[in-house]
């Protein structure tokens, strides 16, 4: 027996308790412990039933993800589930907290399942790029039917106990200590002479239209393989005897295990958690946070206020006039109505948030008691400085003064106050109550506990907070401007914006760069180009064909015309033929003979530009670790999660191959394609970005 599984006798019942904190993952020691304990229960006189329970906060959260990619160790999980199910004893699972992945599969290997009312179950393996590989795809559909199993397995969603009961996944809900509840249930079953009930012996579920479902899943997954592959395993449950179905599940599981997508998704899983673990913040307590000031009630300010309200913080919003205050209240009200509609809050909470937790004022004195204030006014340094001078005068000592600037110099903003140590950048992404990313921008003099407070706020709001240093655009927007630029270069050289958007959505991006530009408003890029024109390097290639469209008052989605034409009532747009004409004119003016691009070349150039700039950002310390870049792009820029982020993508391609391509592109445009020193160094040393992540851990 191992330490992580204990065995105790309660008359006729042997209790197997798993204690492998924090979430009872099924490590080799746990699997061995369960297997040994089953042997012991079966060999001891008088044992008639086995009860499996978990210690701490969960029954079992699944296979131990840290073991993936390492040589397999016996006993393997599918065999363990089969072994439990084949026991001549009556086997019961008493589930609390979460029973996920292999955890639910162990429970499905038991003959009966009782759960706490608050318990949740699920098979979330597809989010890790794999499928339930310990019989889940074969046993679950025998209980729920194929359609419900496909839905549960391909979404990986957590199912609450009442629904799990309705679906037949569990047999009973009972509140109380899980061991006490499980023992009582096992005793009842023994008293009523209940038979062993192996799910594998239940009839095959009826089939559904497998091919149509497979096609729909591929489309919905935007290139992600695991949901559609998992569906094929459920199909096997419907069409094959149990043992053959298990074999098919194993084959499909191994296929997925060997994919880059599995590596990318597991990288995302661990680093989504690691990103907020900053060595410099160990032992640094954040300042108290109860009430938040928000300056400016536009889309961004209203989104920030909504996020704070929904997380239980009081909000004081400052606006400049009665009309602006009313409009701000309206925006927040609209956001909260959305939360009400989606069932995130009830009517009473909605009303209280608007009438009690929110105060909209035109007077900075109303901020005197707030703990942290976030400025979300017009993106202009002078305007920001004026606001910070007022905040400096109005806010109490120790109040954190934050700017939501997306690219301005936070050091300069901080220097305009008498308390630069209290000043920080908190860069939200629009809509701020929806988007998960928060860049915590640390200026030269920002105090450590102010940084810790930025991360604490991120956690309270359910955001993925990433530490960034000060530079134009911080981590995300700085990298964005580089890969956006290479898309422009490819248009000048012959790829159409529509081909580029399609190639990148096929790669897995939520949207291509030109559709994004339409959404953001073409006037924004136009203004930036005008502002930067005077200081632009002579070798920098900047397409200006789109300015002709802006001059005619077409700014993208908001005016109905941009790269695409948008018809009222229709989702998405259709390519605007004018664009190709404008591009042709510019190519002629510049003397460019357009050439063909393959989709693969488009993706490669786009990704190489992204990785090269990201390596600069890490090399300069703007991002501390490559994983900070990966999480920024995943949670703020629609980067496909199954690639893990641009740095993980580069590691998977091989950094030497990425560098070689950058150097080759540099033969055409030496100004743009300058290999980042960090990239060159890693290639010379034979190391990867992930090595840097590990060294920083
Ligand atoms: C699986 O089960 C595969 C099987 O179907 C088949 C295998 C067959 C193999 C066949 C071979 C022939 N493992 O999230 P938190 C850590 S795949 C290891 O902050 P919360 C986590 O990293 C698995 N570690 O807490 C963190 O560590 P840190 C399917 C795991 O309360 C700590 O626990 N299961 C782990 O917000 C706390 O986590 C899943 O996908 C695991 N399985 O959420 C479930 N799970 O403190 C994944 C967690 O060092 N887990 N950790 O940072 C979750 O969804 C969430 O962690 C919970 C807890 C909801 C469990």
Residues 309, 72: Cα–Cα separation, whole Å = 47
Cα dihedral 371, 377, 381, 383 sign: negative
DSSP classification of residue 605: H
Closest by CA to 231, choosing from 251, 250, 211, is: 211
Determine the distance separating the centroid of ligand 1 and the alpha carbon of 101, expressed in angstroms.
9
Which superfamily is assigned to 289-474 in CATH?
NAD(P)-binding Rossmann-like Domain (3.40.50.720)
What pLDDT does 530 receive? 87
Tokens standing for 62? 């699944």
In a 13 Å sphere around the CA of 285, the CA atoms on its Cβ side amount to 3
Residue range 540-598, pLDDT digits in tens: 999 999 999 999 999 999 999 999 999 987 778 999 999 999 999 999 999 999 999 99
Closest by CA to 21, choosing from 72, 49, 73, 61, is: 61
- The count of other CB atoms within 10 Å of the CB of residue 397 is 6
Answer whether residue 207 shows pLDDT above 70. yes
Residue range 259-280, pLDDT digits in tens: 999 999 999 999 999 999 998 8
Would you call 272 a catalytic residue per the annotation? no
The confidence band for 2, taking pLDDT boundaries of 50, 70 and 90, is low
Determine the distance separating the centroid of ligand 1 and the alpha carbon of 127, expressed in angstroms.
11
Residues 31, 33: Cα–Cα separation, whole Å = 5
What pLDDT does 569 receive? 78
The confidence band for 463, taking pLDDT boundaries of 50, 70 and 90, is very high
Is 21 a pocket residue for ligand 1 (Cβ < 6 Å)? no
Q: What angle do CA 475, 478, 484 make, to 5 degrees?
A: 130
CATH of 477-696, one of 3.40.640.10, 1.10.1040.50, 1.20.120.420, 1.10.3720.10: 1.10.1040.50
What pLDDT does 568 receive? 86
Determine the distance separating the centroid of ligand 1 and the alpha carbon of 61, expressed in angstroms.
5
Is 273 a pocket residue for ligand 1 (Cβ < 6 Å)? yes
Alpha carbon distances (Å) from 87 to 40, 111, 203, 246, 409: 12, 10, 20, 18, 67
Residue 440's region, left for phi above 0, alpha for psi from -120 to 50, else beta, is: beta
Is 132 a pocket residue for ligand 1 (Cβ < 6 Å)? yes
Is 246 a pocket residue for ligand 1 (Cβ < 6 Å)? no
The answer to whether 625 touches 486, Cβ cutoff 8 Å, is no
What pLDDT does 4 receive? 97
Residues 123, 140: Cα–Cα separation, whole Å = 9
Nearest residue (by CA) to ligand 1, atom 37, is 22
Is 538 a pocket residue for ligand 1 (Cβ < 6 Å)? no
Alpha carbon distances (Å) from 500 to 460, 476, 665: 38, 20, 18
Residues 288, 125: Cα–Cα separation, whole Å = 38
Class of domain 5-261: alpha beta
Nearest residue (by CA) to ligand 1, atom 6, is 133
Residue range 509-527, pLDDT digits in tens: 989 999 999 998 999 889 8
Is 249 a pocket residue for ligand 1 (Cβ < 6 Å)? no
Annotated catalytic residue, options 12, 74, 105, 375? 105
Determine the distance separating the centroid of ligand 1 and the alpha carbon of 644, expressed in angstroms.
17
Closest by CA to 682, choosing from 655, 648, 644, is: 655
Answer whether residue 68 shows pLDDT above 70. yes
What's the complex ipTM?
Answer: 0.98
What pLDDT does 123 receive? 98
Domain ranges within the chain, ordered by starting residue? 5-261, 289-474, 477-696
Can you tell me the mean pLDDT for 374-395? 95
Name the residue with higher pLDDT: 295 or 532: 295
Matching residue, tokens 């510019």? 586
Residues 274, 268: Cα–Cα separation, whole Å = 10
- The count of other CB atoms within 10 Å of the CB of residue 634 is 26
DSSP classification of residue 184: H
Nearest residue (by CA) to ligand 1, atom 8, is 133
Residues counted in the chain: 697
Is 488 a pocket residue for ligand 1 (Cβ < 6 Å)? no
The answer to whether 497 touches 563, Cβ cutoff 8 Å, is yes
Is 66 a pocket residue for ligand 1 (Cβ < 6 Å)? yes
Determine the distance separating the centroid of ligand 1 and the alpha carbon of 460, expressed in angstroms.
21
Determine the distance separating the centroid of ligand 1 and the alpha carbon of 66, expressed in angstroms.
9
For the chain, percent of residues with pLDDT exceeding 90: 93
Residues 107, 496: Cα–Cα separation, whole Å = 53
Alpha carbon distances (Å) from 282 to 353, 383, 423: 34, 36, 20
Q: Which of 29, 65, 96 to mutate to test the pocket of ligand 1 (most atoms within 8 A of CB)?
A: 65
What pLDDT does 1 receive? 53
Closest by CA to 14, choosing from 26, 1, 23, is: 1
Would you call 105 a catalytic residue per the annotation? yes
The confidence band for 532, taking pLDDT boundaries of 50, 70 and 90, is confident
Q: What is the dihedral of CA 30, 164, 65, 70, to 10 degrees?
A: 70
In this chain, the answer to whether the domains covering 5-261 and 477-696 adopt an identical fold is no
Answer whether residue 373 shows pLDDT above 60. yes
Rounded mean pLDDT of the chain?
A: 96
Ligand 1 closest atom vs CA 136: 5
What pLDDT does 377 receive? 94
Name the β-bridge partners of 465.
438
Name the residue with higher pLDDT: 430 or 178: 178
Cβ partners under 8 Å of residue 612, min gap 6: 482, 662, 673, 674, 675, 676, 679
Q: Is the pTM of this model over 0.95?
A: no
Angle, helices 626-636/646-653, rounded to nearest 10 degrees: 120
The answer to whether 563 touches 514, Cβ cutoff 8 Å, is yes
Answer whether residue 528 shows pLDDT above 90. no
């Amino acid at each position: 027996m191992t330490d992580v599984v204990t065995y105790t006798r309660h008359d006729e019942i042997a209790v197997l308790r798993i204690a492998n904190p924090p979430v009872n993952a099924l490590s080799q020691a746990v699997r061995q412990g369960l297997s040994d304990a089953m042997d012991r229960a079966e060999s001891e006189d008088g044992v008639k039933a086995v009860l499996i329970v978990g210690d701490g906060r969960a029954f079992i959260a699944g296979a131990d993800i840290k073991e993936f990619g390492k040589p397999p160790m016996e006993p393997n999980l599918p065999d363990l589930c089969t072994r439990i199910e084949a026991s001549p004893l009556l086997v019961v699972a008493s589930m609390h907290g979460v029973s996920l992945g292999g955890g639910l599969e162990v429970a499905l290997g038991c003959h009966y399942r009782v759960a706490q009312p608050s318990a949740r179950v699920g098979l979330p393996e597809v989010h890790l790029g794999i499928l339930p590989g310990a019989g889940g795809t074969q046993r679950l559909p025998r209980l729920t039917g194929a359609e419900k199993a496909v839905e549960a397995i391909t979404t990986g969603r957590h199912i609450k106990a009442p629904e799990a009961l309705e679906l037949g996944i569990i047999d009973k809900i009972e509140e109380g200590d899980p061991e006490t509840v499980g023992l009582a249930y096992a005793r009842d079953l023994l008293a009523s002479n209940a038979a062993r009930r192996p799910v594998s012996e239940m009839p095959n579920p009826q089939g559904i239209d497998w091919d149509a479902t497979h096609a729909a899943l591929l489309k919905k997954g935007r290139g992600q393989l695991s949901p559609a592959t998992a569906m094929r395993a459920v199909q096997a449950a419907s069409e094959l005897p149990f043992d053959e179905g298990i074999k098919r599940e194993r084959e499909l599981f191994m296929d997925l295990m060997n994919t880059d997508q599995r590596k990318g998704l597991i990288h995302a899983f661990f680093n989504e958690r690691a990103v907020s673990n900053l060595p410099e913040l160990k032992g640094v307590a954040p300042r108290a946070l109860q009430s938040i000031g928000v300056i400016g009630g536009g889309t961004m300010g209203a989104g920030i206020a909504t996020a704070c309200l929904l997380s239980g913080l009081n909000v004081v919003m400052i606006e400049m006039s009665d009309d602006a205050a009313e409009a701000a209240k309206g925006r927040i009200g609209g956001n909260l109505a959305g939360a009400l509609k989606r069932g995130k809050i009830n009517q009473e909470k909605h009303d209280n948030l608007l009438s009690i937790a929110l105060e909209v004022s035109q007077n900075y004195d109303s901020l005197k008691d707030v703990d942290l204030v976030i400025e979300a006014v017009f993106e202009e340094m002078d305007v920001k400085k004026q606001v910070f001078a007022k905040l400096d005068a109005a806010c109490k000592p120790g109040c954190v003064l934050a700017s939501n600037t997306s690219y301005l110099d936070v050091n300069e903003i901080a220097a305009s106050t008498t308390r630069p140590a209290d000043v920080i950048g908190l860069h939200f992404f629009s809509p701020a109550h929806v988007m998960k990313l928060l860049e915590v921008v640390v200026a030269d003099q920002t105090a450590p506990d102010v940084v810790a407070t930025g991360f604490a706020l991120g956690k309270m709001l359910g955001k993925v907070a990433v530490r960034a240093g000060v530079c134009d655009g911080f981590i995300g927007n700085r990298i964005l401007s580089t890969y956006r630029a290479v898309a422009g270069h490819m248009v000048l050289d012959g790829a159409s914006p529509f081909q580029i958007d399609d190639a990148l959505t096929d790669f897995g991006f939520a949207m291509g760069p030109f559709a994004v530009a339409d959404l953001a408003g073409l006037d924004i890029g136009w203004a930036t180009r005008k502002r930067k024109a005077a200081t632009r390097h002579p070798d920098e290639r900047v397409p200006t064909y789109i300015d002709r469209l802006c001059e005619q008052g077409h700014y993208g989605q908001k005016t109905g015309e941009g790269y695409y034409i948008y018809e009222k009532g229709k989702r998405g747009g259709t390519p605007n033929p004018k664009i190709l004409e404008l591009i042709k004119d510019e190519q002629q003016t510049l003397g460019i003979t357009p050439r063909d691009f393959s989709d693969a070349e488009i993706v490669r150039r786009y990704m190489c530009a992204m990785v090269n700039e990201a390596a600069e950002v890490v090399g300069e310390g703007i991002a501390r670790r490559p994983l900070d870049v990966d999480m920024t792009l995943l949670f703020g820029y629609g980067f496909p999660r199954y690639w893990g982020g641009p740095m993980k993508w580069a590691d998977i391609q091989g950094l030497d191959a990425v560098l070689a391509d950058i150097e080759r592109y540099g033969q055409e445009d030496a100004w743009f394609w300058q290999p980042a020193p960090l990239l060159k160094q890693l290639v010379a040393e034979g190391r990867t970005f992930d090595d840097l992540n590990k060294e920083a851990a």
